[in-house]
Amino acid sequence: MNRFLSQQLGAYGMPKYIFVAGGVLSGVGKGTVTASLGVLLQAKGFRVTAMKIDPYVNVDAGTMNPTEHGEVFVTDDGDETDLDIGSYERFLGQDLGKINYMTTGRVYLSVIERERNLGYKGKCVEVVPHLPEEVLHRIHACVEARRAEIVLIEIGGTVGEYQNVLFLEAARLLKQQRPDDVITLLVSYLPIPGHIGEMKTKPTQHATRQLQAAGIQPDFIVARGSQALDAVRRKKLAVFCNVQADDVIAAPDVASIYHVPVNFEREHVAERVLEKLGLAPRGKDLRQWRAMVRTSERQYAPVRIAIVGKYFSTGDFVLSDVYLSVIEAVKHAAWARKRTPVLEWVNTEEYEQDNKKLKQLGQCDGVVIPGGFGSRGVEGKIRTIQYLREHGIPFLGICYGMQLACVEFARNVLGLPGAHTTEIVPDTADPIIDVMEEQKARLAKDAYGGTMRLGAYDCRVRAGTHAARAYADTSWVSKRYANGDLRISERHRHRYEFNNAYRERCEAAGMVFSGVNPERDLAEIIELPKQTHPYFVAAQFHPEFKSRPLDPQPLFLGLIKAAEKRGA
């Protein structure tokens, strides 16, 4: 037994491992299946954690254009991960971190660094077994750090491609070492070709063969498709994929991902998984989750929220994944207020070409301008912000959205027409948003990966502001100051900051600095007072990352409350 395993057994008895692999095509919903199974196992009374393995060579998701791979999710400890980590956090209601995430790049980097440090004591270091061993080492480290009894490990990509073979090999090795503690789910897709009109099992049979060729027999097949699997196909899959018919789980498309645990519960998925792992359920139930799902499905009065961004399309496809956490945060807040969220995606570049389009924003009850980078669409966002400010439309700006709100204010209220962020105009006359000194040095060395201001930082929220009203009486507050200010913590991902040289002038002109980083006096939340605007709030941090369906984020709740009044 390798040393990591024996440490594990010594520490907590028996951790159990559930691998989730994907078949037939990508985007089949492995992340949702993993997160949903996690919710159910937690509801059965187990300490669960979830890991994502991404097969790309990038060390983290931070260096990828979001149109390539969806949103970059940021954890408390400053990791830039794939959006599935965000789903796990939202479903499990847990803060995850670096230890829950790995990529091929990360695995290679550790092995090579260890080799350079003579960590392999003169051995020939080989792709197999040393890379799968590093994968297992990371899995065991995560189990230990999270004190998990059950760990779900999602292997990115699709079985049969080269990229994830080392991870499948790790899964095979672990099963060989601990046959009673490891199971594998294959999440596969069953297409219904239009001209045939029936659900086809053959691609899933092939995917299973490919998994078997990697030495892994799936314990469960999760049959994704536009419809639920029928008895005939269930039997076919059982026979050809070498599983019991009961171990084929139907997972038809659902209106909301939060419904999946409820469907799985109906199919007794958790009980069947626990049985295979030799564990008995410890009671508890899914009551709170079910209540949230019921609310999300009911038709309430609509609240119309526009998300103004630029990463919406590639070719003919709309990519809402780029703003996944923002979209989810709006939904969580709307449901908590018993409203049905109606989301509109607005491409900011449209406003650069056609000023009249801005008026359409007046039909919305509220607008979110999320984070972003670079010059494309920036003037459109600034115009949008001006319109929202002048027309009293509830607005939540996030990161770049906050920075551009400051640019707009400087230009149109302070009367500094050349004001800009130095990200776009490095020698602007009025650098109201500027790069921090330590960031300058990193940029000069082209050190882009993992070097932004990342992860959770504290923020002191000033009493009597929109922000303080939003956070008051929530679990977000970690300290109450004697003067009524509040201490909160939120996650960041940016290089540029509000330039404090402009603070007094902004304050004199009516901008309120309602959130400030206590250590470095950085502006974290700006707003306009409620006498001048119903809700104009913008944060340098990303409030969307910590929003959970059972615990919506306060600034989003504030937006929805203001939007309700407008819609009324």
- The amino acid present at 30, given as its one-letter code, is K
366 binds ligand GLN (CB under 6 A): no
Contacting range for ligand GLN; rule: CB under 6 A; set: 195-203, 212-220, 288-296, 365-373: 365-373
373 binds ligand GLN (CB under 6 A): yes
Q: Taking a C-beta distance cutoff of 8 angstroms, is the pair 217, 242 a contact?
A: yes
C-beta closer to ligand GLN: residue 258 or 556:
556
Q: Which of residues 466-505 bind ligand GLN (CB under 6 A)?
A: 493-496
542 is catalytic: yes
Q: Which of residues 283-302 bind ligand GLN (CB under 6 A)?
A: none
328 is catalytic: no
C-beta closer to ligand GLN: residue 248 or 319:
319
- Please, which residues bridge with residue 337 across strands? none
C-beta closer to ligand GLN: residue 413 or 424:
424
Question: Whole-angstrom Cα distance, residue 136 to residue 119?
Answer: 17
Largest Cα–Cα separation, the chain = 75
Catalytic residue, from 420, 423, 542, 564: name it. Answer: 542
Q: Look up residue 388 and give its two tokens.
A: 């929202």
381 binds ligand GLN (CB under 6 A): no
Q: Is 4 exposed, middle or buried (0-12, 13-18, 19+ CB in 10 A)?
A: middle
Dihedrals phi, psi of 401, to nearest 5 degrees: -60, -35
C-beta closer to ligand GLN: residue 98 or 493:
493
**Strands ordered across the beta sheet of 340-347:** 340-347, 302-309, 366-369, 395-398, 536-539, 523-527, 512-516, 453-461, 486-494, 479-480
Tally the residues of the chain. Answer: 568
Of 251, 322, 264, 250, the closest CA to residue 293 belongs to 264
Binding residue (CB under 6 A) for ligand GLN from 143, 190, 262, 399 = 399
Q: How far is the CB of 346 from ligand GLN (least distance, A)?
A: 17
Q: How many CB atoms lie within 10 A of CB 265?
A: 19
Q: Taking a C-beta distance cutoff of 8 angstroms, is the pair 15, 151 a contact?
A: yes
Phi-psi region of 169 (alpha: psi -120 to 50; beta: other; left: phi over 0): alpha
C-beta closer to ligand GLN: residue 135 or 367:
367
90 binds ligand GLN (CB under 6 A): no
Binding residue (CB under 6 A) for ligand GLN from 15, 97, 372, 394 = 372
Catalytic residue, from 399, 406, 459, 506: name it. Answer: 399
Q: Taking a C-beta distance cutoff of 8 angstroms, is the pair 442, 499 a contact?
A: no
C-beta closer to ligand GLN: residue 218 or 397:
397
Dihedrals phi, psi of 306, to nearest 5 degrees: -95, 140
Q: How far is the CB of 407 from ligand GLN (least distance, A)?
A: 11
Measured on CA atoms in the order 164, 66, 225, 296, is the torsion positive or negative? positive
Q: How far is the CB of 540 from ligand GLN (least distance, A)?
A: 8
Binding residue (CB under 6 A) for ligand GLN from 80, 247, 408, 423 = 423
Catalytic residue, from 80, 524, 544, 564: name it. Answer: 544
Question: Whole-angstrom Cα distance, residue 500 to residue 451?
Answer: 22
400 binds ligand GLN (CB under 6 A): yes
Cis peptide before 132 (omega within 30 of 0): no
Q: Taking a C-beta distance cutoff of 8 angstroms, is the pair 49, 93 a contact?
A: no
Q: Taking a C-beta distance cutoff of 8 angstroms, is the pair 369, 384 a contact?
A: yes
C-beta closer to ligand GLN: residue 493 or 546:
493
C-beta closer to ligand GLN: residue 332 or 493:
493
| CB within 8 Å of 547: residues ≥ 6 apart | 90, 325, 328, 329, 332, 333, 553, 556
Q: How far is the CB of 138 from ligand GLN (least distance, A)?
A: 27
Q: How far is the CB of 401 from ligand GLN (least distance, A)?
A: 7
544 is catalytic: yes
Contacting range for ligand GLN; rule: CB under 6 A; set: 188-196, 256-264, 285-293, 369-377: 369-377
Residue with smallest beta-carbon separation from ligand GLN = 371
Contacting range for ligand GLN; rule: CB under 6 A; set: 224-232, 247-255, 290-298, 396-404: 396-404
Q: Taking a C-beta distance cutoff of 8 angstroms, is the pair 453, 428 a contact?
A: no
Determine the size of the site formed for ligand GLN (CB under 6 A).
11
Catalytic residue annotation: 399, 542, 544
Interface contacts to ligand GLN, rule CB under 6 A: 371-373, 399-400, 403, 423, 493-496
